[in-house]
Amino acid sequence: MKVIGIDPGLAATGYAIIEVEGRNARACTWGCIRTAPRTLIPRRLGIIHEEVSHLLQEWSPGLMVIEDVFVSEKTAWVSTRTGEVKGAIYVAAHHLQVETMDVKPTEVKKALTGNGRAKKAQVEKAVRNTLNLPDKITPDHASDALALALTGIFRLPPSFFKIGKTG
């Protein structure tokens, strides 16, 4: 089974695909969808939708894990834009019948490091250790997407991964 992690953002949306077989997980690909700041918002959302749709068609994941939006007075504008990005991503998942799961950033940090307030570098290192990746994961949005995918996998019940059932 494949799981896609998505770190939504208007300027940069991180993505990562992890394949799980039994107790083994491997990172298949990761990267970032970038949009230009001077491009109109509807076009930027369209680009993100198209790129995510392409990833879903290419990799056929069974689950999409997307970062939940944190809203505060200080971040209201960014949170609104991130919500719009998530909407474009949800539509892509809906059209291709991919299940979605929202995960809070603190849950990701806690699942991978044991500390809900861990720094980005700690989470990135935990991702590398879990997936046996020797080199630093870049960009940061892709590292976050890998962390999201792993957290989604950790949330699933063990019976979800039984392969080759007999009898």
Instruction: List, by residue number, the catalytic residues.
Output: 7, 67, 141, 144
Q: What angle do CA 137, 143, 149 make, to 5 degrees?
A: 130
Alpha-carbon span 75 to 72, nearest angstrom: 5
**How many CA atoms are closer than 13 Å to the CA of 72, on its beta-carbon side?**
3
Strands (E), 22-151: 24-34, 63-67, 99-103
Among 32, 2, 30, which residue's Cα sits nearest to residue 16?
30
Q: How far is CA 113 from the centre of its chain?
A: 17
**How many CA atoms are closer than 13 Å to the CA of 152, on its beta-carbon side?**
31
